Amino acid sequence: MNTTRQWVREAVRIIEADFQRSADTHLIPLPLAGVPGIELYLKDESSHPTGSLKRRLARSLFLYALCNGWLKPGAPVIEASSGSTAISEAYFARLLNLPFIAVVPASTSPEKIAQIAFYGGQAHLVQDPTQIYAESERLARETGGHYLDQFTYAERATDWRANNNIAESIFQQLRFERHPVPAWLISSPGTGGTLATLGRYVRYRQHDTRVLCADAERSVFFDSYVSGDRGLTLDYGSGIEGIGRPRVEASFVPEVIDAMVKVPDALSLAAMHYLARRLGRRVGASSGTNLIGAILAGRCMLRRGERGSMVSLLCDSGERYATSYYDAGWLSAQGYALQPLIDAIEACAEHGAPLPGELPQVGLD
Ligand SMILES: *Cc1c(COP(=O)(O)O)cnc(C)c1O
């Protein structure tokens, strides 16, 4: 066997050994008196060692690249990332003793950049968030490295039938619940990879479960879903870290999504603060986006006279956003006045009041 092939074998062993030492993430019930008879669970992806659901993606992308023969001993690994993916990939790169460069928008929180460095990675900042892809390609070319390209490969690098993907884990953990097959799975799109895995898995397992995608305000996914146009672009980045994209990523698979809603940033942030209070700890803003999606799915079930369960995600922890989403000065400088919205979300979640405002949505009638 040649030496690169031997190196690949050892690298796969190291990643599998890391997985063997790891535990699964918790599934936490969140009672919502405002949607009686409907049970919501939150899959706590913030409890991964590198702090987000991107742990699963990073492992899959490294295994995919290794088994494709795309990684070489000593050659840099490069990624375009708003932060969370890069943190998890830096972890795996260090495990394999490979240099890691993350190409991130300059607006990325300093906590995330510090985390990338903590795991031995290097952050390469670009001013224009839409340029992270081209810059990653250039760096890979010039360094003889490999660009992992999460936005293209997320959906295909994940083993959607099994191999402890997030969907399989959720269904295992629900086995002894009153409603073990959820009526809805709710997630928000960054790469779109998690939604692709959820949607494929419920078809493969022949469940009736529907998948709701809760998009961010400054993002093309919702409009692309409604119009079918995959060519839509924006020239600015999302306000919710981790989700919402300025272009329709290749890993976004609309065919397996049953319903979509577009959540204003202020409502996502208010829901995040409400969740932090309910859970007694901080979570990231996309978890708030997901909660709004879950409340809408729950209200849709109530209107139809259905009972059952729903599962959504806590995507990352709020510790990363201490100087932004959880900083009162930052929030007011951005023009946010969240308290009335937080109160409205509480009234909705706990007393069944409607959510404030009409959100653009499809598939929830
Ligand atoms: C990546 C990400 C998501 C969305 O997951 P995808 O599988 O990439 O669509 C949600 N929240 C956070 C914080 C993320 O980093």
Q: How far is the CA of 222 from the centre of ligand 1 (A)?
A: 16
Residue to mutate (ligand 1; options 45, 54, 238, 291; most atoms within 8 A of CB) = 54
For residue range 219-262, what is the model confidence (pLDDT) as tens digits?
999 999 999 999 999 998 899 999 999 999 999 999 999 999 99
> Is pLDDT above 90 for 342?
yes
Name 27's bridge partners.
43
Ligand 1 contacts CB of residue 51 (under 6 A): no
> Is pLDDT above 90 for 82?
no
Classify the C-alpha dihedral 72-78-83-85 as positive or negative.
Answer: negative
The predicted model gives 183-196 an average pLDDT of 97
pTM for the whole thing? 0.96
All structural domains of the chain: 8-49+162-362 (3.40.50.1100), 55-155 (3.40.50.1100)
For residue range 55-67, what is the model confidence (pLDDT) as tens digits?
999 999 999 999 9
The predicted model gives 123-144 an average pLDDT of 94
The predicted model gives 208-228 an average pLDDT of 98
User: CA-to-CA distance for 302 and 283, rounded, in angstroms?
Assistant: 27
> Is pLDDT above 80 for 80?
yes
Q: How far is the CA of 53 from the centre of ligand 1 (A)?
A: 7
CA atoms within 13 A on the CB side of 365: 3
For residue range 150-171, what is the model confidence (pLDDT) as tens digits?
999 999 999 988 877 899 999 9
Confidence tier at 19 by pLDDT (50, 70, 90): very high
> Is pLDDT above 70 for 1?
no
> Is pLDDT above 80 for 123?
yes
Name 101's bridge partners.
78, 122
pLDDT value for 11: 98
For residue range 28-79, what is the model confidence (pLDDT) as tens digits?
999 999 999 999 999 999 999 998 999 999 999 999 999 999 999 999 999 9
Residue to mutate (ligand 1; options 43, 52, 313; most atoms within 8 A of CB) = 52
Residue to mutate (ligand 1; options 151, 243, 283; most atoms within 8 A of CB) = 243
> Is pLDDT above 90 for 89?
yes
> Is pLDDT above 90 for 108?
no
**Residue 239 burial by CB count (10 A; 0-12/13-18/19+): exposed, middle or buried?**
buried
User: CA-to-CA distance for 17 and 314, rounded, in angstroms?
Assistant: 26
pLDDT value for 237: 86
Q: How far is the CA of 54 from the centre of ligand 1 (A)?
A: 7
Ligand 1 contacts CB of residue 288 (under 6 A): no
Residue ranges of E strands in 51-167:
77-80, 100-105, 122-126, 146-147
Ligand 1 contacts CB of residue 88 (under 6 A): no
